[in-house]
Structure 1
């Protein structure tokens, strides 16, 4: 009857119409997570969250798109996906020209403006705008690689990494440049390549005017300021600032 009267008899600052709602809420204070995964030890407050998690192990994606081969774990994600076929992006950013087909994508994007990174790693100082990125990062600490290649059994921390890896078996290069004939197995490869057309060099040195297309190139450059030579030869005392210099050096030993 409480649902009709509006009465909320079970209280804890927050108030609830049903006792089950209060019981779930109390667990957020006790950090109790009674629903545990038998395969990896992950634990959850609610059974529905565990059921959703188990699909990452089984690969089950019961909600399929009628217009393409995409499939999803939940009906809500499928519904959001369907917007991508219409081309509509009803959620615009008020601070830049970006627009998104899903409200959650706009929410994540806004954090690039605010600098907010609410999902923090308990092991190191890393922090992330999206919870999924934190889960992916935690695998760098645990060593977990749940996504395995069926052809060579190589393991990966993320599904996108496995997908990119599969292209190495097929020689498929689905990411093509609109300005030249270059094509790439990974989207990041295409993104990096496009900078050769635009001249963009977003990674800038704080100590001089040098700028680079890739973060690793900037890191290698910084060694020129510190005289650090992190790439050491296993066969002699030679050391180098950049990895490709070490590779070239190794040839004198073979």
Structure 2
């Protein structure tokens, strides 16, 4: 069947099909239809191997590689392989050092747009991930996952030198320094060194005079 006039690209690439919710525009009606699913929540494409659902066939094709193990994109500088061109482009920046995504508030640069999006929550104070067992909220899904272990008691990270167990890789890394004696955190005012960022933060208050903890019964 021949496409209708409205389904065909507009002459000269003119974007005549406009979303009446956010202003998104496209020269193709089909692209607008797919876009509208971001507003309606419609996900007509479903994986037949798991519960995954998505808005378009391309996303489903990409997802299927998580089941098949297919990694058709290969780095020409190392042995890295991945499932998508966007993942390969992000990986290539580990070789080039390129950081094209810049925060327009503080100037921090990032290799991936997703990392910039997460960083922006520092400025907006957005915390979209909420614990359903308490009132804690988090800017990153990984932080919520770690937090949930305080409720479940799960401690999947184990020290190979002693019986210490903990809820996160960062806590395990900090613990390992009790064995190695490593002190990677250095005060930029004096020569003090310590094993954790938290200890350094407390030390810096000896220089700044900051006293954030207040007694609610006296002026201490």
Task: State TM-score, norm by structure 1.
Answer: 0.60
Give the alignment's Cα RMSD to 1 decimal. Answer: 2.6
In the alignment, does 2:78 pair up with 1:149? no
Task: Name 2:197's counterpart in structure 1.
Answer: none
User: What is the alpha-carbon distance in structure 1 between the residues aligned to residue 32 and residue 130 of structure 2?
Assistant: 28
User: What is the alpha-carbon distance in structure 2 between the residues aligned to residue 253 and residue 123 of structure 1?
Assistant: 45
CA contact (8 A) 2:17 2:32 kept: no
Alpha-carbon displacement from aligned partner over 1:153-179 (angstroms, at most 9, x marks no partner): 210111101001111111111111111
Gaps of 5+ in 1: 1-15, 17-75
Task: Name 1:179's counterpart in structure 2.
Answer: 105
User: What is the alpha-carbon distance in structure 2 between the residues aligned to residue 237 and residue 121 of structure 1?
Assistant: 42
Task: State TM-score, norm by structure 2.
Answer: 0.68
Task: Name 2:187's counterpart in structure 1.
Answer: none
CA contact (8 A) 2:46 2:53 kept: yes
Indicate the larger mover: 173-182 or 105-114: 105-114
Q: Give the CA deviation at 1:113.
A: 3.4
Q: Give the CA deviation at 1:232.
A: 3.0
Q: SS where residue 125 of structure 1 aligns? A: coil
Change in CA separation of 1:251 and 1:98 when aligned onto 2, cut-off 3 Å:
farther
The higher-RCO structure (CA 8 Å, 6+ apart) is 2
CA contact (8 A) 2:129 2:139 kept: yes
Task: Name 2:66's counterpart in structure 1.
Answer: 140
In the alignment, does 2:31 pair up with 1:100? no
Q: Give the CA deviation at 1:104.
A: 3.9
Gaps of 5+ in 2: 2-6, 181-220
User: What is the alpha-carbon distance in structure 2 between the residues aligned to residue 253 and residue 122 of structure 1?
Assistant: 48
Number of equivalences: 172
CA contact (8 A) 1:118 1:127 kept: yes
Q: Give the CA deviation at 1:212.
A: 1.1
2:40 to 111, 114, 136: 114
Task: Name 1:219's counterpart in structure 2.
Answer: 145
2:49 to 106, 123, 127: 123
Change in CA separation of 1:107 and 1:235 when aligned onto 2, cut-off 3 Å:
farther
Q: SS where residue 228 of structure 1 aligns? A: coil
CA contact (8 A) 1:202 1:212 kept: yes
User: What is the alpha-carbon distance in structure 2 between the residues aligned to residue 250 and residue 105 of structure 1?
Assistant: 52
Q: Give the CA deviation at 1:89.
A: 7.4
Task: Name 1:91's counterpart in structure 2.
Answer: 18
CA contact (8 A) 1:89 1:99 kept: no
Q: Give the CA deviation at 1:152.
A: 0.9
